[in-house]
Structure formats: C-alpha cells, structure tokens
Amino acid sequence: MNDAQKALLARLRELVEETPKSGAVTAAGHPLHVSQFSTAIESRADDGEALVEYVRSKVQARPTASYSALIKAGRPDLTPEALAADADAPWASEFTNEDREAANSRLGAMLEIHRKEVEASEAAALEDARKIVARVSANRVANGKQPLTPDQEEDMLGNLAARRARGE
C-alpha cells in the first residue's frame, strides 16, 4: 500500500467516525451509522488498489440512502465522491480526472436535487402559513373584528417561520 492509499484509508476511517455525529439520520430518524461501508473499507485495508477501486465504484454506483442522508444533512464532505473529487488531497494521485469529473457531477446533481427539495418544502410551508393567516383574519371578521392588517399578517408569517425553524 502506497502513501496515497494509506492517506485515503485514514480519511475513509474518519468518515465512518464522523458520520454518526454529522446530523445525518436514517429513515427512522436515528443517527446514521455506515457499518456496511466500514466493513467494506476494513476488508480492503491491506489492499490499496482494491480500496481505491471500491471508492471509485461508489462514485459510479446508484446513490444509497446513506449518501442521500449525508447530502440532506449538508455533509457532502463525508461522501466517497468528495474524496474522489478532491484534486488537492494526499490521495488525489489515485484518481483520474475522469473519476473527479464523475464525482463532481454526482455531487453537483445531488446537491441540486436537495436544493430543489428544500425550496419546494419551503414554498409549501409558506403556502400553509398564508392559509393559517387567512383563516385567522377570516375568523376575526366572523367575530365582528377588523381583519389582520398587512403588518400583522407579516408578523404572523414571521412568527410561523420562526416556529418552523425551531422545529415546533
């Protein structure tokens, strides 16, 4: 195993350790542990070429739920793609420009998908908040009060957004 492969192995082991603390969660909402990934790494720990090939294969494979969870948690740096894409890393010599392009393409596509999901979720939440504000204003009118003023509506929308941000 050469020095670049040793550095790659060390970083892969760090990814395994950092992932549960990353904020990435499973579908059940538990911290993400990448035990299969860890097992695959350790089974190749003495074979640098196999280790590099494994990372390369992860870049080419269909995205896993773990990969998606890391993207959703805002931690693309903990993916094999991030390792393969890093042209300045100590292990960069183990990956080709084509590997880096594929990794960057995957990361870019997944980050764009996530960005669109976040935007859609935020738009839906804003629409729901506007409906709540409209119901409150309509209830006020039904009870003989003045409807909410535009300033009151904006304040209420801001309060609802703050509550969403806190997870309430």
- What's the pLDDT tens digit per position in 92-148? 999 999 999 999 988 887 877 767 877 888 888 889 999 999 999 999 999 999 999
Q: Do 99 and 59 meet the contact criterion of CB atoms below 8 Å apart? A: yes
Same domain, 60 and 84: yes
Same domain, 86 and 130: no
> Taken in order 31, 35, 41, 46, is the CA torsion positive or negative?
positive
Work out the end-to-end distance of the chain between its first and last CA atoms, rounded to an integer number of angstroms: 51
Same domain, 108 and 29: yes
Provide the number of structural domains found in the chain: 2
Asked which of 76, 96, 114 is the last residue of a domain, the reply is 114
Using a cut of 0.85, tell me whether the model's pTM lies above it.
no
Asked which of 94, 114, 134 is the last residue of a domain, the reply is 114
Same domain, 12 and 86: yes
pLDDT of residue 9: 97
List the domain range (segments joined by +) for residue 32. 3-114
Is 128 strand, coil or helix? helix
Same domain, 155 and 91: no
Same domain, 65 and 90: yes
pLDDT of residue 115: 78
Same domain, 82 and 98: yes
67 class by beta-carbon count within 10 Å (0-12 exposed, 13-18 middle, 19+ buried): buried
